[in-house]
Structure 1
Amino acid sequence: MATFNFYLDKTDKKGFAPIHLRINCNAEQIKVSTKEKVKPEEFDKETQSVISSSDRAVEINYYLGYLRDRAEELFNNSLKTRYTDKEIKDKLTDFVNAHKEGHDVNIVRKSDPSNGEAFTFVDLFAGAGGFSEGFLQAESDNKYFDFLLANDINDNSELTHLVRYNYQLGLDTGFLCQDITEPDFLDNLLGKLDGQSVDVVCGGPPCQSFSLAGKRKKFDKKDNLFAHYLEVIKVLQPKYFVMENVKGILTKERGKIKELVLTEINSIVDINEIPKLSNFVGSLKKDSLEDAFILDCLVKRIEMEQFTEAKAEIEKEDYIRAIDARFKKLIPNVVDYKTSKTDVRVGTIRHGFNLLIRNKEWEKLKRDIIREKDYCNIDNDDFVDTFTEFLVHLDAQEIIDKIEKAFQDLKVDKKFKKQCGDIIHALKIYVLNIDDCLTTIKKFCNKKQEQELQKIIDDIRLYKIEAPFVANSSNYGVPQNRERVLFIGCRKDQQFISEIPATVKEEEKVSVFEALYDLDFIGNNEEVHDYQPVDITKQYNGVAKKMKGLLRPRSIAGKPLTKRNGKTFAEWSKTGRLNGRFVNAAKPFYVKNTEALDNNQRDHALLHNHKSSNQNDNVIKRLDIILKEGDYKKAQEKLNQCGLASNKRNYNVLKPESQSPTVMTIPDDYIHYNSPRALTVREMARLQSFDDSFVFQGKRSTGGNNRKSELPQYTLVGNAVPPLMARAVAMEILKNIK
């Protein structure tokens, strides 16, 4: 039985005494320096802690407690039963050194121009930082990426980014923790960027309602986030942008959503070319005098694209007011005075204009209602239809439809029908995107004018994109079959990119065993903070040669190397894939929340996020049966016989020689290939291709309604873009960017 206590050594010339950890076991004594010092009067020998009035009491006491826990872990929970004094001292000294080095980092460090040519990027909907990691790993022809800013709405995403990129890697990368749909988001984003130009924007707007497996909701707060993402693109106008989404977006509503996204991308214009288009549309009035009003409306709608959001809102109001004034001038010719004051149809038209003029306020109200609806989990109940119907009626297109029907019901005299039709047409132009405006303009052109318009269209479209690209992460050295759709927008002055070439062939793909074998030393309800040796021969008696044959030396991108001078996937995970750019990086550490970070309550370990779930005996028996059968469906009969049936929809048994299925956010969905247990956060991170030095912060998991507001480690991992896939995207951009 070992005992642990802290004591003070002799004071130095400045009056500070070093704190040492003393371990007594079997009449043997081991002493380890903590590399912390305090004044003797600030140390309470009784409690073996620094007194609370000391400046760094919270930080040092947390560290001492953490170091004691690691010492106890070595003696009580380690797989290895016998250690020499030197081995114990060396292991504890590793934790001490990691703590010391972690406090010596310079938080703000810009890229060094002498290292090559830097291109800047921003990561929206950043989550854990899969895109960020991949872009920082990329380097081509002495070109690399400089990370300016990340954005997400969740505090734990911000904490994970802050620890990784500011504290650990020493970058001065900013973080904007705000909902992209909020009215002042763009202003705050530009404020954070402080005039810095952005070369690439990447991000995966979370669209659960686009998923083939998820529920399809009306007015889900996630449903229109890609439109807000594109609003950022319109303002920043980067050289390239990458938008990642689930594969289901291609087939949603029979492909209409995909076409809508492409149309919106094509509607992003080069504002320098807008005057040319405006002048052209204005010139059409010479041959179409009767349509002058409509052509003027098209010009006004086109010119809105060159304004900032605040200015555009003013222009929209003025646009509707002008049409409203035209209606007020027309109405005495359509109905008599009494009817104009009392008729429901006239009231509908008049009040419809009021609603459109106040569109900005109604949009804000819609956002608030949708947010509250989502927070209260209103779905599949007697409330949902009422909310949906109300929100539908606030939509600008719905208001315009009602105005149009009111005009039709008025049975306007033939003499004034065109004027009424022009009002309706003008309102429809109000909700058109630029792509649809261009289609409308073509209707006023003769053949020669149409050719001239086409040249203007080619010049005014800022981004080139033909179709989205389906990427499977296993083609890029990730040990996981995860299909995602990538929309890659290429600014017209840049080389066109239509796809991301695979870095590995089908027969070269990284296996689950390559990714996880060296972490297979953890049992049920255990947490391990150090790597342990794994003996494949003992673990896989009879098939050890086959299992060892799965391990191959590879390049960073996963390509097998013929010479045995490369690293295995597991070795790359341990040493890191940042390609030597961050040689002065601090040691990785974990904090449970922002307050702990502020108080320097950091856990410096050699291995992080490797904790297994506490599964009861019945769960372990159930998983063992499924594991032995190799498939959940095949195991059903045996589970029923043993009284171990479960209502769980599915379990995925990992196959060591192949790739894992798509990593999601719930660890219990997966069964380890060699043990009847769920995966740890670190194991799921390996399947996503995150380096071991990337530490997921905050809570490990959460449940129930907390999933709406919290982003625990498992969710951070499961929602992330695999870094190696992101790296492949970044490499292709670096090869082409000018």
Structure 2
Amino acid sequence: MGFSERPERKGTFIDLFSGCGGLSLGLMQAGWDGLFAIEKTAGAYKTLEHNLILGTRYKYQWPEWLPQINMEVSHLIDNFQTELVDLRGKVDLIAGGPPCQGFSHAGKRDPNDPRNKLAEQYIKVVEIVQPKYLLLENVRGFNTKFKNSGGQDSIPYSLVVKKRLEALGYGVSFRIIKSSEWGVPQHRPRFIMIAKRNTESDNFDPFIDLEKFRRGFLVKKGLCPDKPVSVRDAIGDLEVTGKSLVPNLDSGRSGFVEAEFVQSSSPSNYLQLLQSQRDSTPPNSLRLAKHSEIVSSRFQLILDKCERGVTISDEFRTKFNIKKQAITPLDGDLPSATVTTLPDDILHYLEPRILTVRENARLQSFPDWFAFQGVYTTGGKQRKYTCPRYTQVGNAVPPILAEALGMLLDRHERSGAV
């Protein structure tokens, strides 16, 4: 089956652990109607609210019984179970990306991390609402074995979730998908699980003919299916060199500057895509970091001496006394390394600095009209309790990938495949 346009019929979805709204945005762009989303952190919810609750381009329906506030999924389950039961037969899809730090190869991969159990809350809502389809996104490590206390491999948590969903009557299929193959200028391998109610897992494969669908989707988007979008395609117009620096006004803090936004005279196809619905207002979140001369010099040394697109070596770190464990200087002609929640994990391909929030958002495929809210960064003890803009972007599902998945689900539904 190839790619085709979505018909007028729209399915309804709920987004759990929604973050700032990348998955919801992509599904809405694919033609799905969002009922509501649940996000616990105030910062991410503020961005979600600004763009997808109070916004004008895409909006959730939002039921009257559910407060428009940030909350945990457990709060939804404990306080609105009757209302959730009433949604049976009215919700086609439950989507979500439970927090993934405990599974991530970039972290400690702790099998006892309490955040691993948040998938159980996702399953509980599924059990109550009983939607036709499920879409679960996570890091690649979700499908990797942990070492148990005896040093032996345990089964991946993905198989634990799969068995739980099968017990609820769902056929389950999953793949590891590389974001760069779907129009996202970032390698970012992601675990994608799709499930369908009243279907046998042995006969359920929504990913069949995925390559044919992928090519059709990218061509329709005006993107080349044979060459990934590069970093320069995505953020080349935001280079600072040669531009005036003006005060940054969207962070609520004085003393910061940003490069004056200049509309590109020859935007890449990818950039045209991200700017297609933007009005004359420049995108927000362009604030430049304040680097000391020592830090800027160190970054310039990395750009001068290290291979681009590859994490700097331990030998280089030792030689130049760099404490940071993982820094990747970007290659402008290739997709980016994975955008994380830490601003200094990647360096600009040309200028000795970290990327702005907007540049990271471009690498995540957020459109320029999508405005991030809240503080830019936090440190110390507050890092555990807040979700600043850099973290919002790093945690998000790339909207273009989410849009493709939404269209993939719709294609499967229309095909009548099981």
Alignment partner of 1:208 is 2:95: no
Q: Does 1:164 align with 2:51?
A: yes
Determine the structure 2 residue equivalent to 1:653: 329
Counterpart of 1:670, as a letter, is I
The higher-RCO structure (CA 8 Å, 6+ apart) is 2
Displacement of 1:222 after TM fit?
Answer: 0.7
Label 1:729 to 1:619 Cα distance change in 2 as closer, same or farther (>3 A).
Answer: same
1:9-20 to 2 correspondence within 5 Å? none
Q: Which structure is larger by alpha-carbon Rg, 1 or 2?
A: 1
Structure 1 runs (4+) deviating above 6 angstroms are 522-525
Name the CA distance, whole Å, in 2 between partners of 1:490 and 1:532. Answer: 46
Tell me what 1:56 maps to: none
**For residue 262 of structure 2, what is the amino acid of its counterpart?**
Q
- Amino acid of the residue matched to residue 161 of structure 1? L
Residue 185 of structure 2 is aligned to residue 267 of structure 1: no
- Structure 2 CA distance for aligned equivalents of residues 638 and 263 of structure 1: 44
- SS for the counterpart of 1:135 is helix
Structure richer in helix, relative to its length: 1
Match of 1:152 among 33, 39, 54: 39
- C-alpha separation between the residues in 1 aligned to 2:405 and 2:131? 15
Could you tell me which residue of structure 1 aligns to residue 394 of structure 2? 718
User: Which digits, 9 at most, give the CA deviation of each residue in 1:700-738, with x for residues without a partner?
Assistant: 111122111100000000000111111110001111225
Q: 2:198 aligns with which of 482, 492, 496?
A: 492
Aligned-pair Cα RMSD in Å: 3.0
Deviation for aligned residue 1:528: 3.5
Superposed CA deviations along residues 636-676 of structure 1, whole A, max 9, x for unmatched, are: 65994xxx532111211111111111110111111111111
- Mapped contact 1:665–1:719 kept (Cα < 8 A): yes
CA drift of 1:529 comes to: 7.7
- How far 1:237 moved relative to its partner? 1.2
CA distance in 1, matches of 2:40, 2:78: 14
Structure 2 partner of 1:430? none
Task: Report deviation, 1:508.
Answer: 1.8
* Structure 2 partner of 1:671: 347
Retained in 2: the 8 A contact 1:529–1:607? no
Aligned with 2:193: secondary structure? strand
Structure 1 residues 636 and 676, CA, compared in 2 at 3 Å: closer, same or farther? farther
Partner of 1:341: none
Q: Which runs of 5+ in 2 are unaligned?
A: 1-6, 63-67, 147-152, 219-223, 246-254
CA contact (8 A) 2:135 2:192 kept: yes
How many residue pairs are counted as aligned between the two chains? 367
C-alpha distance in structure 2 between counterparts of 1:124 and 1:570, whole Å: 29
Shift in CA distance, 131/193, structure 1 to aligned 2, threshold 3 Å: farther
**What is the CA deviation profile of residues 517-553 of structure 1, one whole-angstrom value per residue up to 9, with x for unaligned ones?**
1111368985348522569xxxxxxxxxxxx9xx75x
Other-structure match for 2:11: 119
Amino acid at match of 2:387: L
Q: CA deviation at 1:205?
A: 0.8
Residue from 257, 261, 266 that aligns with 1:531: 261
The structure-2 alpha-carbon separation of the partners of 1:693 and 1:250, relative to structure 1 and needing over 3 Å to count, comes to: same
The amino acid of 1:131's aligned partner reads L
Of the three residues 268, 275, 279, the one matched with 1:574 is 275
Q: What does residue 21 of structure 2 align with?
A: 129
Shift of the alpha carbon at 1:625? 1.0
Match among 200, 203, 224 for residue 117 of structure 2? 224
State the alpha-carbon separation in 2 of the partners of residues 573 and 193 from structure 1: 38
Q: Report sequence identity in percent.
A: 32
Q: 2-side partners of 1:686 and 1:193: how far apart?
A: 39
Q: 2:187 — aligned with what?
A: 481
SS in 2 for 1:532: coil
Contact 2:22-2:396 within 8 A present in 1 as well: yes
Equivalent position of 1:736 in the other structure: 412
- Note if contact 1:471-1:483 (Cα within 8 Å) is conserved in structure 2: yes
Alpha-carbon offset, residue 486 of structure 1: 1.0
Q: Distance in 2 between matches of 1:520 and 1:526?
A: 17
1:625 aligns with 2:301: yes
1:541-560 superposed matches below 5 A: none
Match of 1:540 in 2: none
Are 2:296 and 2:353, in contact at CA under 8 Å, matched by a contact in 1? yes
1:515 and 2:191 matched = no
Q: TM-score, normalised by structure 1?
A: 0.46
Query: In structure 2, what residue type is equivalent to 1:490?
Result: K
Residue aligned with 2:275, SS: helix
The residue type paired with residue 507 of structure 1 is D
Corresponding residue SS for 1:230: helix
Q: 1:672 to 1:190 in 2, by over 3 A?
A: farther
Give 1:527's aligned amino acid: V
The residue aligned with 1:181 is 74
Q: TM-score, normalised by structure 2?
A: 0.79
- Shift of residue 569, structure 1, vs aligned partner: 0.9
CA contact (8 A) 2:240 2:259 kept: no
Q: Which of 673, 684, 687 is the equivalent residue of 2:363?
A: 687
Conservation of the 8 A alpha-carbon contact between 2:283 and 2:371: no
Match of 1:245 in 2: 138
